[in-house]
Structures are given as structure tokens and as C-alpha cells.
Amino acid sequence: MTIDASATPEPATAPAVADRGRTPAWRLLLSNPTTVVSGAGLFAIVLLSVLSGWIAPFGINDIDVSRALQPPGPDHWFGTDELGRDVLSRVLVAGSTSLTIAVVAVLFALVLGLAIGAVAGYRGGWVDAALMRVVDVMFAFPVLLLALAIVAIFQPGQVTTTIAIGIVYTPIFARVARASALSVRTSAFVQVSQTMGTPGWWILTRHVLPNIAGPVVVQTSLSLAFAILSEAALSFLGLGVQPPAPSWGGMLFTAQGFLGQAWWMSVFPGAAIFVTALAFNLVGDGLRDILDPRQRTLIEARRAR
């Protein structure tokens, strides 16, 4: 389990307010072709997944053994599997399932990790030590191994997979939030608020959280990519989404026995995993370049030449 070190911001010296003379963030994002292409691709993937129930040409469990293992063609663009089910329909619906699990899991990790990290960084002392020791223990385990252990304790399924992935990614957000909160805590505007007797919860919500939004947004995008991979891995091992519901990882597991005679059964779900994870990563890299003060200054300097 790793943290993107570049997601840690520079020490804050004032509340997060955009500099008037600077290029708008959206303009900088649009000036990066990689971010634009990956963002458009990600939008298309999300749109297809959301509409999968309406645009899928066949039912995900429509069995027709007479059409089993048909290669891609006019009737079945992605071919059929060993039971004659349409691979395109299953890839689309599986995308909806994978994205739902990833988004809910990362939101769970975001909320819990943000609360732990912000409180630990702002309060300091024994509160910081106690909370971060728990986080360190969780960091000692590889992400997939810890997720496997959690799922093994409970019954495998979509809800269990979502909770497991959310738990294992919570420490990442806790570390990012704590590092950001530590830098904000020593800033002048926070110290002034403390001397005026402002309640701690008010300082956290009005000063600390807004100033750590940048690195948290970047980490969210990167974590979504790894959540997609984690869900696929758990489903591949039979501990994620359970049949007959389709999942990209489960489709890859089934395709193992047909690699020599039905390449399409593994290529299309595998490509879906690869493209989705890559798109989230590239969008995260683009956001990091814009939200990191040093990177943004370099980009603006290059544009000014």
C-alpha cells in the first residue's frame, strides 16, 4: 500500500483562495492532451456503464448453447462465451457493477480516512499517536491480502467486496489528510482562530478541510483506479461478485479454460479493466499537476514562453 507523495501539499499560509492573476485550472487541464483524452474516455466508460441496462443488446444470462463460443461478428460484436451468452452485454453490465463497487468503496474510505487523518493531524498528541498507530498496522498488510482476509471472514458478495476495499484504502486517505492537516495547523489563520477561542470542529470544517481538498481529490482519482483492479482481483479469485452476476474479474476467470479457442472471452473484459484503470490514473496525474503548487507554476511558466 503506497501513497502518492506528490499529493502532500506545501505548508499553507492562507486560506485556499485562487490567485486572480493565474490561469484558471480548467484551462490548464484542457491544455493537457493526455488529460483531455483520458477524461473523455473515462466519461464514455461511465456513461456506457450507467446506460448498460438499456443499451445491452442481449440479457446477461440469455443462454443459447447453439451459439456457444462464436467469434466477434455482426450479431455478437464481442462474440459469445461457453454458454452462448453475449460477451458485449456482460462486459457493459459488469462495468456498471465494477464502477459502483469502486466508487462506493472509495467514498467510504474517503469519509472515514479524512475524518481520522484530519482529527489526528489537527489534535496531535496522544490522539494523533493512537489513531496513526492503527493506520500503521493496516499499512503493514498488502492491500489485496487484507481485502482477502476481510472477505474471507464474511460471505463473499458485492456488499462485502465494497466494504473490504473501502477499509483497506482508508489508511491512504488518513495519511494524506493527516499530512495536510499538520501543515495547515501551523498556519497563521488557524492559530489566530485558536487564540480567539473558536471551537475545534469549526476550525476543522472551515479552515483545515478546505485546504486539504486538493491532495484528497488527486488521491481519490488514483484510488478509484486501484479499487477497480482490487475488485477485479477479488472476483477473479471467486471472492468478489458472485455468479450469475457478471464482473470483469469473474469473466477473466471463466475465460482461462478457453484461451486457445475463444480469445475474445478474455481480451474484452481484460481491456475494459486496463482502459478504465489507466483512464483514472491519467486523470489523477492531470489533477495532481494542476493542484500541486510547484507543478502548476512550472506548467504556467511553460505556457508563458
Tens of pLDDT along 14-38? 444 444 456 676 677 777 888 899 9
Query: Cell 451459439 belongs to which residue?
Result: 67
> What's the pTM?
0.83
The per-residue pLDDT for 37 is: 94
Lowest-pLDDT range, 45-54, 188-197, 231-240, 258-267?
A: 188-197
In this predicted structure, the answer to whether residue 93 has a pLDDT above a threshold of 50 is: yes
The grid coordinates listed for 37 are 483524452
Say if residues 121 and 181 touch (Cβ distance below 8 Å). yes
Tens of pLDDT along 106-158? 999 999 999 898 888 878 889 889 999 999 998 888 888 899 999 988 888 89
The per-residue pLDDT for 194 is: 67
The per-residue pLDDT for 9 is: 47
Which long-range contacts (C-beta less than 8 Å, at least 24 apart) are formed by 289-296? 289/28, 289/32, 290/25, 290/28, 290/29, 291/25, 291/214, 291/215, 291/217, 291/218, 292/6, 292/7, 292/9, 292/214, 292/218, 293/9, 293/10, 294/10, 295/6, 296/22, 296/28
Tens of pLDDT along 144-180? 889 999 998 888 889 999 999 999 999 999 998 888 7
Pick the CATH number of 28-304 from 3.40.140.10, 3.40.50.150, 3.40.50.720, 1.10.3720.10: 1.10.3720.10
Q: Return the domain boundaries, the chain.
A: 28-304
Integer CA distances (angstroms), 28 to 17, 31, 60, 179, 213, in order: 17, 5, 42, 26, 18
